[in-house]
Structure 1
């Protein structure tokens, strides 16, 4: 018995040692927010205060030292995110996730982001301030890689940590630029629809600019086959596999002193980006004797894309301009290595690439390039052997000066200095929103815009060999849309159509007027805005357009066909105020019916796969309100019922019946249970959260959430036949900067500051975000010192 007890005690002791060892190991993987660390190369001590939400406030004697410290603390919270982001353009995701990512790697390699980066690096001035600071930031990242703990994801994937280079910085921005583009989802699809169905069907789509909708006003002050559908399918499939978020849309408005209670500018910004864990932005406050900025950083990028100080503030939304064109090419029938140009036959450029695949053989592939860009055929299996189609993308054309632009924006001290940096942004197209302590408000659309021949639509695949469908000229930045201190005393952007100041419309993939209409109506109606009122506005969940759609469609209902229960809900829908609260039923009825209407109207002509692609475009969003008002047209008739010609009334009534039946099936006959919180949910997904056993450790949520697609609080989702709306994109931050009290400006992140699952800041803002709460962006040093949870000193 004594021997048994001794053995038991030994076993318990061993288990205790193992448990302690595991605990010590796990604890060693956490970010280190306190203590003293060596940071080689800094000239003086750098003190970093971490506030209660893990945001670093970095104080240094010079900017080089401050940015090195920024690189270190950014890496310790977001190294895994940095690692994934730098791998996209280089085609190195298969090296982490295996063969499922091969097509995605092929696609991004063919875009030429990495090749364009190499060209840029070979020609940049290494001694420019932007590049010197970038290298300092990289030194901080690499110091953490060398001496800091390894994030758990590296252990789980088995990949080694490797130093970051200046190429990684440019490639991260390159991915962002492509993520903004919508042409790759739209142009080939529209071309296929035209070839398959003819022009009469296209006239029933909201392709062209709608002059009856709300446009952004300018003010300058006193001064033949299915190839297209296959391309869309291949691109969509490649992007769907990405383990990092895509950029989707955004809201921003800046209110001039004349319309604020305290007579000072207020800026609001909520960029809409695909939800993922970690969330996209890393917040940091950097302060030196000559420079200060509270900024939002993309993983691996030293300069903030969003930022403010005591003098000025800026934010971004997507311009949605068309900076990708597709061209049919013609291969020489006598020599397959040549293609036709206006100057005769020219040799294809052949590019060879190799993709390393985890637990598999390397994949080697070759793609062709024309003077337009990469030929997409053979990059995806389903479009091999067809007529060559090349993609011309503005990002890879001019010299890349985007990093210099970001440096310029973050270091400007006034409006003129800020504006002077904007022409360096050639792609992605951005609406840059600006306000300052002097009372200026401005909006500029930044992009390298170009003029095409009259009457030529860039929404379709163009003719490459003729030379007749090429850009005629590039516009000067002064011809871009913009508004500076307009007499209506505010500027805004909701990704909607801008007006022209160059005698032409700017081709693009603009979102419908829903959010813009609501923003304009709210701003026009009030002249005493303050931070509290703006914070309520940024959380607005009312759609003025969806209620108009309901009013139009409800006219078509013959109430004699409805039960008493249906009439009650129909009456509720008729009186719906357009709000998307959690306990309301009208949004559920509206969206299910809308899905069935669109499906019953268009899937018979398009087919299931093309219809699925259509639902992922901005064109579909524009089609909803516009199409509901089309009384007659070919789309309404079901081509699969040749003996019957369906009308709009037939489609709407059938769709409502299907909605009712599906809701009874999902939730029972008690209609009070058909509420928005049952169907509209948000879960922030980590790549490892797709594994069921790891989901609770890496994912954040799910939460029922208010809002919907195309309201100001734009919590969007893809449509499908399930009737359940899993939110996949929305405000990546909500920021409000009030120059009457700039040190008490407010913001929020969707989950938390840290991307490390072991950090307490991994998800400490998630419930606040869902509940519409904010936290302070502290800039007062005394307050920062008093409220700091920890201090990390670099020596």
Structure 2
């Protein structure tokens, strides 16, 4: 007994020592928000005030010093995020996470992003302001790597820190550009449907591109003159960092505001993650000021504002990726056919390092169109070589100058000159200023093919007939400057015609666009508070219409009492996605059953490439209106089904499923029981204690798919909707009171789990609340945390 007591005491002492040691070690990992630090290459003192949500307000005598400090503070909050994002395009995730990421590495490294980056960097003007400031930013990051604390994640995965270079910045640009491209999924799917099912099936699907459209209108007026200071899914699902998905933005002219000044709103939709996507920062020097939102490893903000102007973005969704069937030389598979004879493929050898495993090597064939994707994308089982032509890697990359010039513009004309340099990814760039200008530019390099060509199918690479005929001048791009209707907006929807036709793309359905236009048209005295309510709006104008189109085709003669009640709930739904609503639960399950019963029998395995895509959403909105369709018949049965058969079967299966899932009482089928959101850290995905430590949430939340407060989820057989994407920030700038402009991000400013700002905005975000974007210097200097950087001799 005495021995047992001694052993227990020893164990207790060891436990205390372990706990204290762990606590002391963790203290060394906290970000430094107070005190003094010395940095090399500073010419003067830099003072950084961290406000009450951890945003650094950087006060410097010149921009070079300011960007050096930005690099340091960005790295101390987000080094782990920086490390992962630079590895994606380079195909270096398997070094961190092991063999499960080899296929993902192989895909991304085969896209040609690194080769394009090297080509771009070789041509950069090393004396340009954008380059010198980017190097200052990288210098700050690298000094943190040398002298700052190593983030916990590096210890957990056994990873050594490495310094960063301008190539890493361009790899991030490449990953961002890929995030916007949807053709990888849609084009092979549609080609397969055409080849296996025929013209009648494919034509019905493709017609949805030109139905149910809310168009963004074009108009260019004068500036107010004033100057101022699947398989793809499987690969993507494994990514430890988010993809860009959608977005909302609207800017209202003074004539439609209560206070007579421009109001600006923007909320880019990006896959959720922890840490959050954007890093907020405020730089102020004697001749420059910008409150910006930066991606990891990007020196200049893609979203920003100051007292003079505000800008933001949504995804254009234009078609900038095309696939080509190449035709190999039957006598030499290393050659492919062109109109001028056979040409040799360029061969690129690639090596992927794998944690705990030997390296693996592979070879990429590259035609004049781009890399041959067979073997890089698993669902491309076709024996014919399929090459990917991507405008991002095909044309000159000026993204560093684009982001620099947009964040350093002195007028709307300056800003437009920066926006016009963007070649890819296609972005709707939104603008408003203190001089009463508002503008929207659909930026990206647009081009023409022959009129009869269907670019959403795989093209003929050998004949020369399916090549780009010409590139359009930027003035032909969709855009609006100070339009007569006094607002500009974008919700990733189809822009109005240019050169007499609608520009092809992978535009999202009209739901959010229609709601935005309805709300903007309804009044002419908008306030910041109105915009705050609008940006959190959860009503779909389209979902109730789809519901009613379906319900009128249900055979009502054989319905049970529960089915009749469910029908009544859905028929009277106004499209609201609040937590306590019942109708969204019924609607989403009915959507699943209807899509499965309509399309899966013909599509087979390709069905998984169709569901949970914008193309599916547009197709369903069109399909529910059709009485006659080749898709109604279930080809797996002997009978010939009608629309009524399919819809009735879908409705009855919906109610039976929900009764089993949520109980017999329909009043209990509330949205909050099936829809939740959790912001996952790459290490937290492992589950258990790591999930509890690193992840943020789960939360219930208002919102649904394709409402303004866009909470994006997959609709599948489970009946639960795990929200995986949504507004990456909500941001409102009011030029009648610019110092009290507001924002919020999903979790927190810091990616350091030991920081008080790791998740301090999460509850506010999910309640639809905001925090202030501080510009007032006296307000900023009241901050409790002040870090001073001094020149290091």
Contact 1:206 1:622 in 2 (8 A): no
Segment of structure 1 superposing worse, 79-88 or 754-763: 754-763
The partner residue of 2:687 within 689, 692, 695 is: 692
Q: Deviation at 1:553?
A: 1.5
What's the counterpart of residue 757 of structure 2? Answer: 761
1:680 to 675, 689, 698: 675
* 1:656-676 CA-partner distances (Å, limit 9, x unpaired): 111111111111111111110
| Cα distance in structure 1, aligned partners of 2:2 and 2:652 | 77
Q: Among residues 601, 606, 631, which one is paired with 1:604 in the alignment? A: 601
Residues 577-610 of structure 1: per-residue CA shift (max 9 Å, x gap)? 1101111111111110111000000000011x31
Equivalences for residues 472-551 of structure 1 within 5 A: 472-551=469-548
Q: Tell me the equivalent position of 1:256.
A: 253
Inter-partner Cα distance in structure 2 for 1:3 and 1:96: 46
Q: For 2:450 and 2:775, how far apart are their aligned partners in 1? A: 51
- 2:772 is equivalent to residue 772 of structure 1: no
- Match of 2:324? 327
Please state how far the C-alpha of 1:789 moved relative to its aligned partner.
2.7
- Per-residue deviation, 1:507: 1.1
CA distance in 2, matches of 1:742, 1:63: 23
* Match status 1:719 vs 2:715: yes
Could you say which residue in structure 2 is the equivalent of 1:470?
467
What is the CA RMSD across the aligned residues, in angstroms?
Answer: 1.6
For residues 11 and 577 of structure 1, the distance between their equivalents in structure 2, rounded to whole angstroms, comes to 62
Residue 652 of structure 2 aligns to a residue in which SS?
A: helix
Q: Using the TM superposition, give the Cα deviation of residue 252 of structure 1 relative to its aligned residue in structure 2, in angstroms.
A: 0.2
Render the CA deviation track for 1:629-662: whole Å, top value 9, x for unaligned.
01111101100002x1111111111111111111
Aligned-partner Cα distance in 1 for 2:45–2:293? 24
1:730 aligns with 2:695: no
8 Å CA contact retained: 1:206, 1:619: no
1:646 has 2:668 as partner: no
Cα distance in 1 for partners of 2:2, 2:202 equals 89
Tell me what 1:407 maps to. 404
Deviations 1:438-477 (A, max 9, x none): 0000000000100110111110000000000001100000
| Residue 305 in structure 1 maps to residue 302 in structure 2 | yes
Q: How do 1:200-215 and structure 2 match up within 5 A?
A: 200-207=200-207, 209-210=209-210, 212-215=212-215
Compared CA separation, residues 379 and 3, structure 1 to 2 (3 A): closer
Could you say which residue in structure 2 is the equivalent of 1:19? 19
CA distance in 1 between counterparts of 2:403 and 2:182 reads: 23
Name the residue aligned to 2:153.
Answer: 153
Normalization by structure 2: what TM-score? 0.97
Counterpart-to-counterpart distance in 2, 1:564 and 1:156: 56
The 5-angstrom pairing of residues 602-641 of structure 1 reads 602-607=599-604, 609-641=605-637
Q: Secondary structure at the match of 1:61?
A: coil
Q: Which runs of 4+ in 1 moved over 4 A?
A: 1-15, 380-385
Distance change >3 Å, CA 645–CA 297, structure 1 → 2: same
* Aligned equivalents of 1:602, 1:105: Cα separation in 2: 33
Structure 2: stretches of 5+ with no match in the other structure? 224-229
* 2:323–2:386 Cα contact (<8 Å) kept: yes
Q: How many residues align?
A: 783
Distance 1:569 1:380 in 2: 43
| 1:7-406 alignment, distance < 5 Å | 13-207=13-207, 209-210=209-210, 212-221=212-221, 233-380=230-377, 383=380, 386-406=383-403
SS of the residue aligned with 1:629? coil
Partner of 1:230: none
Give 2:227's aligned residue.
none
What is the CA-CA distance between 1:110 and the residue it aligns to?
A: 0.9
Q: Does 1:742 align with 2:705?
A: no
Kept in 2: contact 1:512–1:621 (CA 8 A): yes
Which residue of 2 is the match for residue 227 of structure 1? Answer: none
Deviations 1:319-378 (A, max 9, x none): 000000000000000111110001100001111000000011101001100000000112
8 Å Cα contact 2:555/2:644 also seen in 1: no
Task: Give the CA deviation at 1:8.
Answer: 7.4
Change (3 A) 1:6 1:423: same
